Amino acid sequence: MTVAVLAMLLLACSEKVSLDNFNRLRVGQSYDEVREIVGDPASCDEMVGLRSCAWGNEEHGLRVSFLAGKVVMLSAHNLR
């Protein structure tokens, strides 16, 4: 049962990491606004006030950088 629940959660997260949802992201949006669109990030790193978060995996995903809690840079790879 636990494996099934985890599989469903992973599928739900991967469905949010899509080209359509990436195209809804905008410079200036808050971290919470981005999370509403693409869900919780797989990872985040912070250096010198710049927070960079990644969604997806090595095959397909997106990366968003935040400064003072607002989007300043967006990138994506192999989204469908």
pLDDT tens digit string along 18-74?
999 999 999 999 999 999 999 999 999 999 999 999 999 989 999 999 999 999 999
Neighbours of 64 (CB within 10 A): 25
pLDDT interval class at 78 (50, 70, 90)? very high
The domain tally of the chain equals 1
Q: Which residues of 1-29 are buried (b: 16+ CB within 10 A; e: fewer)?
A: eeeeeeeeeeeebbebbbeebbeebeeeb
pLDDT interval class at 17 (50, 70, 90)? very high
Stated pTM of the model: 0.81
Q: Nearest to residue 80, comparing CAs of 13, 38, 39, 19?
A: 19
- The CATH number of the domain holding residue 24 is 3.30.1450.10
Structure confidence at residue 12 (pLDDT): 45
Q: Is the pLDDT of residue 10 over 90?
A: no
Q: Which domain holds residue 73?
A: 2-77
